[in-house]
Structure 1
């Protein structure tokens, strides 16, 4: 027996052989492959953009003002923060952040992803520095510290008015101008003074917020102890009410040397300095000096605006960093005598220690 012969394959459809159909099939195939390729590329790029970066240890990078996206990407790659500038730039453009990144100094953690780097740059999470001004510093001293700070930029055109700056700690980013810090200090003082003046005691012998600053600046220079400010202020308020001179040594120094009065040791006032003509010398005038002798802090402003209710008219150092207060001159004289005794003991002790050190050295 012979097997049946297999039927021939069906002939191709005329439509399948149509050139237009062939082109369409090719384009569809190409489109599918392109979509698959783009999808794979996007998936890979997303992983690169959101995955851990190459940074092994924390690094700081400065992004100059006006930097282009390409410049930023290059700088980050140079510092080892990112591994691929093309992926970084593509991710930035995908999120439409190419014009939203901020200049500044940035600190990036080890393994920071490109996405987190982008977020820091867009949000402006720059490194903050700080500068501190002690309470009572003069405007001249404040300007000197600002000029010495290597992070700040720009010049200060003139020394601000005494008493117009609020001494505190101020934070700033790299590239901040010195004048901006001055502006913040002036705004801070204006706000603090307005608040304190609003809540002042109504029987204060001062006529304006400016006079309050002047008196507070003297209180600031007379004591560094927080619990004494109100009592020292009370002494000066009592004296002003009685028409007595304030007799504050720091006012003499400021009148003689201005803002540079406390740049070197001038604690001992000579008789000639005491007698010299000096509009700030509160031994010679029975009123407030013509202006502040420094920039008081808010605590001194508050203490001066609401001084202690005592009958004290005098105070002198007590040897512990504080003061002994008195209502009468006789009591004050006893306190002065005690202070001088303590001074003699202190000098004798210092001389003895110096002698012992000299003997040990020989």
Structure 2
């Protein structure tokens, strides 16, 4: 009888050991079979999460069992990085903690808030419609002295770090904080030295941005426009005429060549007809264009024309006669290319 009791006890111990080991394996054994990333929607459910991890674990039932035992019922939205060998316990703790992996949000020079919203929507959870609504929110614009047009200058092209599930409003507000940090005391002082507000700097930088894609040339171009601006000359910037033409004919209107008749267009953005800066920026300038305006090259140039010897750059001139020679050379070259519009 005594031996029977011993055998039963041993059997129970073995059973408990097997069961305990099974539970341990479910909870703490390596479960993630490959590294990867999952994006959990802000309103995601446990069923959604189970589907998202299907490719990373062999037994989703074990994950749900561990989650239930740990009373984990609602995942926190965001981007999460999974490492090979993580246990089910690790996964539950990760998703419950909300310890997201930030995303690097980047954008270049977008011509409109619509295009910017589309670019950002490719990188965070918020869709383009929601983002655009936040960008154009009238209360926000009024409070921060922007209009729907000038607000484009609030977004400085760069790389920024955000959480994937950042809302449209929080994204916009964070970009405003980045904008305010960008306009530090040094940049504001440089703007004052040129007699410009930061909004005027952005406007002139947008012209420089459109005038030349060559970063090394931007300080020289900025210096030229500042020479004209400070001497009360019309800027005579072709990009402003192109902007006016697109306002009239639509954003899909293609202009490869500005014609003399185009210079007659009636628009406050036509810097051939109006002295001073246009009402707002004409494009989203990047940091190099803004800093070119703040720290321009000092020279006596008042004219420039696209170069035919160094494509993508410009020939600069101090006098109208010299400029006319450069312009005639360019006109002959462009005619030979067969570019009509």
* Post-superposition offset of 1:42: 4.8
Contact 1:136 1:221 in 2 (8 A): no
Corresponding residue of 1:135: 109
SS in 2 for 1:325: strand
Contact 1:53 1:81 in 2 (8 A): yes
User: 134, 155, 158: which one pairs with 1:168?
Assistant: 158
* Post-superposition offset of 1:46: 3.3
Q: Deviations for 1:43-67, whole angstroms, at most 9, x for unmatched residues? A: 5433443322264x55655534355
CA–CA separation in structure 1 for the residues paired with 2:12 and 2:42: 40
Q: Deviations for 1:79-134, whole angstroms, at most 9, x for unmatched residues? A: 5625264566447856xx83795223545455543244235424546576666432
| Unpaired runs of at least 5, structure 2 | 137-147
Pair 1:250-2:226 in alignment = no
* Post-superposition offset of 1:317: 0.7
Corresponding residue of 1:286: 275
Pair 1:269-2:258 in alignment = yes
Corresponding residue of 2:285: 296
SS in 1 for 2:193: coil
User: 91, 99, 108: which one pairs with 1:117?
Assistant: 91
* Post-superposition offset of 1:285: 1.4
Q: TM-score, normalised by structure 1?
A: 0.70
* Post-superposition offset of 1:273: 3.1
Q: TM-score, normalised by structure 2?
A: 0.73
CA–CA separation in structure 2 for the residues paired with 1:124 and 1:188: 25
User: 198, 214, 220: which one pairs with 2:209?
Assistant: 220
Pair 1:51-2:57 in alignment = no
CA–CA separation in structure 1 for the residues paired with 2:176 and 2:248: 17
| 1:48-127 equivalences in 2 (<5 Å) | 48-53=26-31, 55=33, 61-65=38-42, 71=47, 74-75=50-51, 78-79=54-55, 81=57, 83=59, 85=61, 89-90=65-66, 98=72, 101-106=75-80, 108=82, 111-122=85-96, 124=98
* Post-superposition offset of 1:192: 1.8
Corresponding residue of 2:329: 338
| Unpaired runs of at least 5, structure 1 | 1-25, 349-362
Q: Deviations for 1:323-345, whole angstroms, at most 9, x for unmatched residues? A: 11111212212222332343345
User: 225, 232, 236: which one pairs with 2:225?
Assistant: 236
Contact 2:103 2:163 in 1 (8 A): yes
Q: Which piece of structure 1 moves more, 116-125 or 145-154?
A: 145-154
* Post-superposition offset of 1:200: 1.4
Radius of gyration: which is bigger?
Answer: 1
* Post-superposition offset of 1:240: 1.1
How many residue pairs are counted as aligned between the two chains?
315
CA–CA separation in structure 1 for the residues paired with 2:87 and 2:103: 25
Q: Which piece of structure 1 moves more, 305-314 or 80-89?
A: 80-89
